[in-house]
Structure 1
């Protein structure tokens, strides 16, 4: 058993014998392991050199979602962000999706969105993948979204050389006119922040869990727009959501602008494969 794994289990207070430990699929950022001791089963993430507070912020996001009493999240038992010994120890969640799992998921995400903070954004800088996500607390959503989401990706893209020329010109023009489409005065919902189709799973009885948050407070339509970008959600998910928390009539107009943020993130991480999608949205709003 790896040294970090021994340290991780010790921090949980589980000193029983390890029955098995094996590497499992769990994304491209961390090494992921299933560990079973005489007492319990665990999911352990490991990173050799994480950004500062990487696992702490994931644990904090999970705890904030748990506090809404809306949708299940894995219990966190221990974490460390020390270099060469960074880990996150969580409850092992295993089950099969039932016929109503996506319905439950939509209903419970809507329930989570009905919990509200006092401001938009977040008190801590977080990550989207391993990409830094600057935050801060703002009194209105428009200023937060413009300054901390879109403008931050613009700056990063300029530095990396993937936002240049007409793309840069259009994005800068969009930022100057964003108030035409993005609302300022919306309630700051609790948001998962990275709710693509791989960040939820089914537990016992098919009940849904969410994992890997990049937490913030903000416009719930921002989260919903991302669920529609890369798929992974059924019609049942959306019908259940709408039943509990109907959408704003302006959602269709703002949805591409909310998807733009995640496309810029992918452009800055993975490169030009996402450039045409970014350009199509910029052309729609800025000609």
Structure 2
């Protein structure tokens, strides 16, 4: 059985309806996976593929999408099935055609994200690990947010970078020492988070409903999602007006926690893309250390 035949079989089994590909086109799937839109003349699906050992990554993505589908104001693609052959792993998703964002859709995205963050858990983390891009993301539960951010986010990134960037690890150790001071008194609820909310992971469907996808789900400080939206751009003033109007920013976000939470993604990008991001991360760390 070829890989495409295996994907046809998996879709047929998952949906209870025979599926035979008569249209296959490449789609944008990011830097990590190959992506295709598959159709049979009546239905279309979005399929991402990778090496067979990446099946766990796709299973975690599917679980994250299911978790996000608790939100009512946002559209989240339905995961159809995850499977693997000897040659590749794949995830099959509901296909959602995207349209160009409008001011109204960005407003609705801000409102929808605020609603998503209102879904809370008793502890920070999640019941399974997943990935941020291709890198492992550790989600062991913690009652204390500072402990979670230190152990599950910053420390693991710094340890991974230490062999190639010892100066980053050295500055990181200094930052970890003052982290309790930087987050002193900050006790956020454990909100349901997208986890990787940059402009490429959000859009609008053809009915104008905001769509989010490609998550790195966990429960934690809602401000982490907002901080990432401000790091790489792609979100309009209408989005922020709607979000902060529904859930105003707390004191210390812009000066302390925004750069602290963006740092996590700069460190991840340093692991993926190298020295420019490492230098940027060092600047942020030293600015935070000076504030502490």
Give TM-score scaled by structure 1 length.
0.93
1:152 and 2:156 matched: yes
Q: Which residue of structure 2 aligns with residue 225 of structure 1?
A: 227
Q: Distance in 2 between matches of 1:50 and 1:211?
A: 22
Give the secondary-structure state (helix, strand or coil) at the position aligned to 2:115.
helix
Q: Which residue of structure 2 aligns with residue 250 of structure 1?
A: 252
Q: Which residue of structure 1 aligns with residue 46 of structure 2?
A: 43
Q: Deviations along 1:241-265, whole A, 9 cap, x unmatched? A: 0111111121112111111000000
Runs of 4+ in 1 over 4 A off after TM superposition: none
Unaligned runs of 5+ in 1: none
Q: Which residue of structure 2 aligns with residue 191 of structure 1?
A: 193
Q: Shift in Å at residue 68 of structure 1? A: 3.1
Q: Deviations along 1:52-98, whole A, 9 cap, x unmatched? A: 51111101101111123341101111112555241111111114233
Q: Shift in Å at residue 267 of structure 1? A: 0.5
Give the secondary-structure state (helix, strand or coil) at the position aligned to 2:149.
helix
Q: Distance in 1 between matches of 2:238 and 2:84?
A: 39
Q: Which residue of structure 1 aligns with residue 129 of structure 2?
A: 125
Q: Distance in 1 between matches of 2:138 and 2:107?
A: 33
Give the secondary-structure state (helix, strand or coil) at the position aligned to 2:189.
coil
Q: Which residue of structure 2 aligns with residue 110 of structure 1?
A: 114
Q: Distance in 1 between matches of 2:102 and 2:236?
A: 13
Instruction: Choose 29-38 or 6-15, whichever is displaced more.
Output: 6-15
Unaligned runs of 5+ in 2: none
How do 1:198-209 and structure 2 match up within 5 A? 198-209=200-211
Q: Distance in 2 between matches of 1:70 and 1:118?
A: 23
How do 1:65-80 and structure 2 match up within 5 A? 65-80=68-83
Q: Which residue of structure 2 aligns with residue 24 of structure 1?
A: 27
Task: Tell me if structure 1 keeps the 8 A contact 2:172–2:285.
Answer: yes
Total equivalences in the alignment: 284
Q: Distance in 2 between matches of 1:171 and 1:131?
A: 19
1:281 and 2:287 matched: no
Task: Tell me if structure 2 keeps the 8 A contact 1:11–1:78.
Answer: no
